[in-house]
Amino acid sequence: MSYPMMKRFEGFESGRLVRLASVLASILQVVWRRNRRLYLNLIAIVFTAAFVWYGQNAAATRADWNALQSWTTEDGLVQTFAGGHSSDSERLHVVLPASNGAPQLCKSMLAQTILGYPAPNLVMWNQTTLAWLKEPSHYTSENDLVVMADAYDVWFQLPPETLIARYHRLVANENERIRHLMGARAFDAEKISTKVIFSASKRCGPNDPHSIACYAVPGSPLPRNVFGAITDTRFAHNAWAGLRQQHLVSGFIIGPVGDMRRIFERANERMKECLAGDMKGTQWVRQNCHMGSDQSFFNDMFGWQEFHRELMRRHHRTAWERFFDRFMPWRDGAPPRLHVIEDAVVVDDPIDPSFPHQPMPDPEYHADQPHELGITVDYFSELSHQTSNALHDTAFVKHDAPLRPQTKHPAHGQVIMCSPHAPMPNDLLDDSGGLEFFDKDERPRWEQLPLYSEVCAGTVPIAVHHNWYKKEPIKTLWPEMWWTGNAKRLLDARRDQAAESERERVGGAEADTGESLTWDELCPPEWDGEVFPERD
């Protein structure tokens, strides 16, 4: 019996149930004596109707979940956010790993400043991300939100209040999805909770597809026909372009300070263990600890977490539930469905798949959850979209204009391989993110601006992460950003908005050396031609 149905029966008194059961038994006994065939037909009809009703109800529930605007409140409102350098912005922190100045860093900082984000913290200038997370003076609460993004290839395009609203809504939706996957009993007993969201990827690189990091993660909730007949096949632009996103990318991460610190501490421990080895690599680990890739350790931790969540699901599953799972595989907590990962590998069992695979060193259920980290990925690219094997899923779209002409010849020059759709999100305030600095009579609305859009999933991400190995798009697509032609005056307007004592810091950053770096110190005038292009 499903959890919602159990709740319905809680209101019945035991005496009423006994009397009802007695009456039903008497009726069935009479029917059985008079016409056994009628009785059997009646049972068949009831079971068939139950299966049809349950299937339709489950499908409707899934459709409703996929249709949710997962970044707004129930009434469509967005929480406001005081960005820039105001004291209220201390509840959101942006951390950029950067070791030197460059035009690409200036582009990232310019975008954040125009949109109203707090001044970024540059780490690796003198220390590390983990060191920043360990220093209490950098934040006011363990629950402060931290965004860690690649400094040189991540461009924000939507304001911080939208980021915060989407984060909280995504967390709520992901908890509902995990509850469905694990089953209510396991989910509640283990107190599972999503905390930290990574950007999503189609590949599990640099890890081996047959390793725990890759085969143990759950299948993607993206539609199974998102790319038509080539979804999850090798017949797209390349062997990975048709895959649905289900793995993580460490170029964009958001979560509370305390949870982020725990994840980075675990990654640091794993890296030290790897570096203490012979560095020659194994069947499942490339030489030199996956060539020094931090993402490989995050992948590994995500895989271990999901492996043990599956153990939790099985641990709490009753024999009665397992029996019904055979006939109703869509039930809450039923075994996970088959899914495909790269190299056309079909995962038929996330614990012990049928292909040669890396065995789990710790395959036992643990009540103390040593591998639970609250990690998930941004499957629908609502927070960040990474371009590796996925640039052709996007276009710059003005949402008040017909979509098809805008996706026929996108600025990146690649052919979009899905049936594009781009609904305008309802979580953008027209007087935010820099739009408030336009004169009222010429102030654009968000739907009138060219926004980088994921037209296969139908979302407009907060940021774009140019992690494709071909770096031409970083140069060619920057002039397509919505502020092109107005960037300098928007930067000046953001400065004018600040208190006089703070104006010099607007557009700058806080270095891990303890010093404040101004825009002029980080971004000399000779880079202006690249950082402030004019629209053609």
The pLDDT tens digits of the residues spanning 487-535 come to 999 999 999 999 988 999 999 999 988 889 999 999 999 999 999 999 8
Mean pLDDT across 347-357: 97
- The residues, any chain, with a CB within 8 Å of residue 445's CB and separated by 6 or more, are 400, 430, 435
Amino acid code (one letter) for 272: K
Residue 463 to residue 127: CA distance in whole angstroms = 25
- The residues, any chain, with a CB within 8 Å of residue 314's CB and separated by 6 or more, are 351, 365
Mean pLDDT across 158-164: 97
Is residue 88 over pLDDT 50?
A: no
Strands (E), 36-174: 92-97, 121-123, 145-149, 154-156
* pLDDT score, position 52: 47
Q: By C-alpha distance, which of 461, 440, 424, 374 is closest to 162?
A: 461
* pLDDT score, position 132: 80
For the chain, the average pLDDT equals 86
Is residue 17 over pLDDT 60?
A: no
- The percentage of the chain sitting over the pLDDT mark of 70, rounded to a whole number, equals 81
CB 161 within 8 A of CB 72: no
* pLDDT score, position 129: 78
Mean pLDDT across 14-32: 61
* pLDDT score, position 30: 66
Is residue 127 over pLDDT 90?
A: no
CB 204 within 8 A of CB 343: no
* pLDDT score, position 51: 55
Residue 65 to residue 250: CA distance in whole angstroms = 26
- Edge to edge, the sheet with strand 154-156 lists 154-156, 463-465, 384-386
Q: Write out pLDDT tens, residues 406-449.
A: 999 999 989 999 999 999 999 999 899 999 999 999 999 999 99
Q: Which two tokens stand for residue 154?
A: 């991540």
Amino acid code (one letter) for 508: G
Torsion of CA 156, 159, 165, 168, to 10 degrees: 30
Domain boundaries, the chain: 3-67, 91-384+471-527
Distant-in-sequence contacts of 65-70, Cβ < 8 A, 24+ apart = 65/173, 65/176, 65/177, 66/221, 66/223, 68/169, 68/173, 69/169, 69/425, 69/426, 69/427, 70/166, 70/169, 70/170, 70/172, 70/173, 70/380, 70/382
Amino acid code (one letter) for 449: L
CB 300 within 8 A of CB 212: yes
pTM, two decimal places: 0.84
Q: 86 pLDDT band (50/70/90 cuts)?
A: very low
End-to-end CA distance of the chain: 62
* pLDDT score, position 9: 34
Is residue 218 over pLDDT 80?
A: yes
Q: 273 pLDDT band (50/70/90 cuts)?
A: confident
Q: 141 pLDDT band (50/70/90 cuts)?
A: confident
* pLDDT score, position 280: 62
Strand, helix or coil for residue 448? helix
Q: Write out pLDDT tens, residues 368-378.
A: 999 999 999 99
CB 70 within 8 A of CB 170: yes
Q: Write out pLDDT tens, residues 25-62.
A: 666 666 656 666 666 666 666 665 555 444 544 443 34
Q: 130 pLDDT band (50/70/90 cuts)?
A: confident
Burial-class residue 54 by CB neighbours within 10 Å (0-12, 13-18, 19+): middle
Radius of gyration of the CA atoms of the chain, in A = 26
Q: Which residues of 401-435 are buried (b: 16+ CB within 10 A; e: fewer)?
A: eebeebbeebbbeeebbbebebebbebbbeebbbb
pLDDT-wise least confident of 18-27, 266-275, 415-424, 447-456: 18-27
Mean pLDDT across 142-156: 95
Q: 230 pLDDT band (50/70/90 cuts)?
A: very high
Strands (E), 50-189: 92-97, 121-123, 145-149, 154-156
Q: Which two tokens stand for residue 57?
A: 């109800």
CB 157 within 8 A of CB 452: yes
Q: How many CB atoms lie within 10 A of CB 438?
A: 15
* pLDDT score, position 430: 87
Q: By C-alpha distance, which of 92, 94, 103 is closest to 140?
A: 92
> Could you tell me whether strands 375-378 and 196-201 are parallel, antiparallel, or unpaired per DSSP bridges?
parallel
Q: By C-alpha distance, which of 216, 145, 211 is closest to 383?
A: 145
Q: Which two tokens stand for residue 245?
A: 């996103």
Residue 90 to residue 82: CA distance in whole angstroms = 9
* pLDDT score, position 35: 67
The residue ranking higher by pLDDT, 39 or 219, is 219
* pLDDT score, position 3: 36
* pLDDT score, position 62: 40
Mean pLDDT across 141-154: 94
Is residue 404 over pLDDT 80?
A: yes
Residue 29 to residue 175: CA distance in whole angstroms = 46
Mean pLDDT across 209-237: 94
pLDDT-wise least confident of 32-46, 67-81, 382-396, 434-448: 67-81
* pLDDT score, position 64: 38
Is residue 245 over pLDDT 90?
A: yes
Instruction: Give the rounded distance of the alpha carbon of 1 from its chain centre.
Output: 32
Q: 286 pLDDT band (50/70/90 cuts)?
A: low
Amino acid code (one letter) for 185: R
